[in-house]
Structures are given as structure tokens and as C-alpha cells.
Amino acid sequence: MPYAWQPVCCNIQVAILSMNYRLLCYLLMSLTLSGPAPAGDADGYTQQRMELMRIIEQDVRETSAYLDAETLDPRVMKALAKVPRHRFVPDSQLRHAYRNRPLPIGHGQTISQPYIVAIMTDLLKLTPADRVLEVGTGSGYQAAVLAELAQQVYSIEIIEPLGKRARDLLNKLGYDNVETRIGDGYYGWETHAPFDAIIVTAAADHIPPPLIAQLKPGGRMMIPVGSRFMTQQLVVVEKDSNNNVTTRLILPVRFVPLTGDH
């Protein structure tokens, strides 16, 4: 649940024709999404979602040196274009629902910045057959995006009111491939392990060994590492077929801390 990442180059101007072309592409993409639109996804938000897609795309280009890519997987962008972010924010934040920034959701937590959700999801390299563990359900927004891309999502939230609210909303929106529970995500969810991918949405001062153990050979984990008051780094953790683990730093970020008794 990060604070906003500010790209180094924030003032790059995109040509009007190019902008219109990209907006048209995303509009057409949204019209071809499989299945019915999520409940409550009012037409009044469609233009805001498409503008957000353009902004995310621009931020990806501006941070391509960190990401080693200038574009994200079209499946990831399609998922973000489909998920109704306004359903996951408090009523007091509705006017900001499609701004590219985190928003408060209560209990000292935030709904993640869409750009961060996009790149973390993209770096997991999900397939439709994957089973994913999310540590930190929060608002449920990241879980919904994962559910558009993977076969099954298991999500853990340590703050009970947030976890229950996210569970009820995800069920209401029809995300029946998301299972949630209240608990300390540091220890993972051993009953459903191993996982093809793991995503942690709060910063830890180290990579939790239980999560490494529950990552399937060939799997990937995304986790911000660092303390609240020091530089945090978004890290990709990969486990090969021989259970050897490697890590790669992606870019500096700022997340709320991972809490629990560990």
C-alpha cells in the first residue's frame, strides 16, 4: 500500500495525435473485455479510467530504465482498465478515485497507486493457470486486478475491519476466484502453498523466509524491502527449478510497513 512514486521526468509532453490514438486504443480495448462489466461500474467513470491508463503508460515510459521495458503486458493494462477502482475507495475519496496516487482507506492504510499496482502485477508475469498469494488485502483493489489474470488468488489482511470489508466487496463484484482471511501475512498461507506468485503490499525490513518457502520453483515474488524511514526498494524474488533464490532491485518506493508479531 504505497505512497505515490514520482518519476524523475514528469513533464514530458505527448503529441496530441499520439495521445488521441492511445486513448482510442484503450477505449476499444475496454469495449472488448470478456464478460459483463463489474457491478456498479458506472459509465461516468469510463473516461476517467481511460485517462488513467494513458497516465500509467506515460509513467512506464518515463521509468523504463528501472523497469527494463517501455510498455507493460496488454493483459495487465486490460485488467486495470476493467477493475472499477472507485468501488474500492471510501465515499470521501470518490472524486480522486482515478488519480494516479494512493488514497487513504482508514486504519492508517491506503489503496495503492495505480502505477505501482500495474508494475508489480506486470513483473509477476502471471498466466491464467497461476495461483497467487497476496499479503495485505487492504481495499481489495490489487486482489481484483490479480483475479482478472490468475486462476486463484489467496489474500491475507491483518486488520480485521479492512479484511472483512474487502471480502464482502470482492464477493459483491463477482470475484469468486479470490479467497481471503484475517491473519499475519508474514507467515503466508501454508494450507494453499506452494504458490506460482506472491505479492506483498507493505514494506518488510527483510524478505520473510516463510514466503520464500511457499514460493513454487519457477515462481516470482514482488515485495518492497526497507524500513519506514529509510529508502525502500521494490524487489523481484525468483526461485529456480533447483530452489535457488535470486533477487533484483527494481526502483525506490515508499510503502506502509508490514505489521505483525514477527
Q: pLDDT tens across 1-37, in order?
A: 454 454 433 333 333 334 444 544 444 444 434 344 4
Tens-digit pLDDT profile for residues 218-233: 999 999 999 877 789 9
pLDDT, averaged across the chain: 87
Whether 112 is catalytic: yes
The pTM is what?
0.84
How remote is the C-alpha of 130 from its chain's centroid?
16
Contact yes or no for 169/147 (Cβ under 8 A): no
Which residue is catalytic, options 30, 34, 64, 112?
Answer: 112
The yes-or-no verdict on residue 112 having pLDDT over 50 is yes
Grid coordinates in use for 224?
518492497
Grid coordinates belonging to 219? 515462481
Q: 16-253 falls under which CATH superfamily?
A: Vaccinia Virus protein VP39 (3.40.50.150)
For residues 71-79, average pLDDT = 97
Determine the pLDDT at residue 2.
52
Distant-in-sequence, close-in-space partners of 26: CB < 8 Å, separation ≥ 6: 50, 53, 54, 77, 81
* pLDDT for position 17: 37
The owner of cell 492504510 is: 109
C-beta separation of 118 from 80 below 8 A: yes
Length of the chain: 262
